Structure 1
Amino acid sequence: MVDQSARQTLIRIIAQRVALFAALAMALQAALVFADYYFDNEQLATLMIERETAMLSNGFEHRHDEAPYKLPHDLYRYGIQDGFYITRIRRPSGQILYTNCDARCDNHLLPQEVNPPDLWSRMLSDGKPLAVAGGKTYEILGEKIFVEIAILHDSDGIMWAVIGREFADHLAIPMAIMLFFVLGGTLLSIHQALRPVAKAAREAGDLDPLDPGHVINQTGMPREIADLAAAVNRSLARIGTLMKSQRLFTTAVAHEIRTPLAMMKLELGNIEHPRARKIEADLDALASFVSQITALGRLESADRAAFRQVDLATLADWVVTDIAPLVYDLNHTIAYSNLGAGSIEGHAPLLEDALRNLIENSVKHTPEGAAIEVIAGPGLRLTVKDNAGVFDAPAEVPFDDLKADHLGIGLEIVRRIMALHKGRLEIDVETGHITAMTLIFNN
């Protein structure tokens, strides 16, 4: 049998697959973004100029009268003389606020007397790593500032930093947000859709085969799963119909046998012979067995839809009154006491059969003169005691673990009646002194 705990949940399966396809989509989009930017040198050059000039313009955040510009500490590459990264920051009047180059500025940057456009760039060489020059105009505290740079050899990987930023802006952040909402929304939707299914699974585990009105509730289920639940309900209905017809057949057969048995016993009564008396005893045993079969058929044809309120004390009083003549004829005594029994929802005829079976069991399996006592209560219980203590089943073995053939069909019927009422039968034996059989009902 497959261990259900080893199965993956639907939510986990979908989460894994959504994550897998999201990873594949991100990988494909990453390849497209990389190809789009890596092989477009002009676009890369413009992005590199924008990035570096923007970072250089942050030096005005620390401006004061003595030093209007201070190179940001993370741009040390522009503080090196004769390095690969050169810059010139100036006003429209030509006043230079900061520079780390000399004649190279004249070779790669615009002349100082020229007011540059808002953004410009040009390639200094072909291929990778990129060598570019350009600049951008910023308005800082109402004053225009020209920030110009030239990257002669990209030893610090500015190009890769630009590509990485584009990955974050166009791939990582949008995809993360989309994945969060898509995956979260999908899992939430599945969780909400499976709530009635989980409830139905719990109900299915508690289905009562003896209650025809106990079916799987399809309310709120997705249509595909509701169709499956409807099919299960139809199967339960067909099984119930089949079981009912089989029970009716068994009961009908038992009823048909009763009449021939009575006629045979009547004819045997006219025969004066010891062997005739032996056959009569056998017929009595067979008639008792047929009665048990009839009771079993009545039990199996019952369901909880027919349950009504039953007062246990009243029921016990009536059964004791009805069976007392039989007890006295077999030279036993019977007493009844009410210790405050309660009421339950149950099937009165079946409960009468259960109590009668226990009394008859005490009558048949005890020696003459045994004292039988029926006690109603306290609470939801009925007890049948005798002072013989001859019940031969081990007292320490739970009743449900005992074999039906060991207990006899009568006690097996009692067990099934108690199962129908969601109760149990407890047996307490003091050998040679007391046998107590108690029907215990749950609240």
Structure 2
Amino acid sequence: MRWTAGDVLWSPWYWTAPAEPVQVQTNWQQTSKAWQLDEGSLRWPGLGQGGFALYWPTQGGLLRWQIRDMNVAMAPLYANWIKPLTLPGGLAAGLQASGQVRFSVAGEGGLNALRWDLRNAAVSSPNRLLAVTGVNSRGAWSRTGKISAATLRWQSAALYRIPVGPLHADLVVNPQGFHLQQPFTLTMLGGALHFRQLAARWAGPRSGFSMSGDLQGASMAQLTRIMHWPPFTGTVSATIPELQYHAGDLSTSGALSAHVFGGTVRVHDLHVENFFGVLPLLRANIEISGVRLKPLTNAFHFGYISGVLDGDVKDLALLNWSPEAFDAQFHTVPVPGVRQEISYAAVQSLTRLGGGDGIGGFFQGLFLRMFKTFAYAHLGMGVRLRHGVAELSGVGIEDSGFVILQGQGLPRVDIVGYNRRVNWNELLARLQTAMRSGAQVQTGE
């Protein structure tokens, strides 16, 4: 049989005849019980070729079928055969694929068994949310309970434009999904992402992916540059509890804990809707404890501040990774052996952040510049973001203003803000201005 012209619509698929004819060869045998085809073959120009077999009972029973050693190109296979099965607007619907795959499939009613050999493949999304190159994978799956081994390799990858190094993973495949045979490590952001556990389930209420592991020595400079966030330096290490991906959403069963700037950041109640979609929505609560201000302000070029910072960010909501709402409070806590000091440049930065133009007055500024640092008793700030407007607060109230910095000793410097409501974009602009102007002070620490 040859198909030379015309179109075929078999929902959800739609095919157009290629320039060269599609050729199908069959040799049917009929018995009193069934139609049987043992040695069928298919040659589809531009897609690939392989064999197939059918057993079709005529007196009831399920159709048994096989596709044998089908060798096809990934680009047309994904575009014309797999993509029509995906949800419109989802990540899978926008993917592009390349490479070659040889596979065999068998079924009786549903899918019973699959064997594959994927070679030199690549997968990418138009917006670079996901990109994987140099993919090679071999393995087998069976619905009957047989456990088998599989391998997955890639040369490079990127997730949300964050580059990831080579992968070499050995998997155990079972009827419900797969899991790691042994842990593996990926290089990322100049550090390492260690996977202790990685698993998948094909179907059911817990279908999707799950993983746990830890991150070591990731560069914040690289991350902020890639994500177009305010730049700062340093590295971060984190403990990752079980992350779960199901039906487009990402969540965690425990607190994600990161060690940064000598302190700890814990992320609770993390949930990301539409993780790979057009407008992902992140919700979380964040707890910050024991963060050292000296390395933090050095990283942000804010001016020198010494002390220890605690705080929290409640009801955080990021739409497409930009803040939509949160309630944040940050304040210093006295710690034995840690001085609470601030430089003139940092005083200027905090004043600008609070809505002022810096320390006014020629003689006042000249006098304060004579001192390297100033002691303080309390330092803190709160921000409540709703509908693009930030409401500011501090560690105390003075007249109609809010105290950001409460000085101590002589000369004493206090910073009081009076503009409690400010546009969020304007507050970000103030922060960027403060970071650009915050010259560092060497203290000998």
TM bracket (short chain): under 0.3
Q: Normalising by the residue count of structure 2, what TM-score does the alignment of the two structures yield?
A: 0.20
Q: Normalising by the residue count of structure 1, what TM-score does the alignment of the two structures yield?
A: 0.20
Taking CA–CA contacts closer than 8 Å with sequence separation of 6 or more, which of the two structures ends up with the larger relative contact order? 1
Higher helix share: 1
Higher strand share: 2
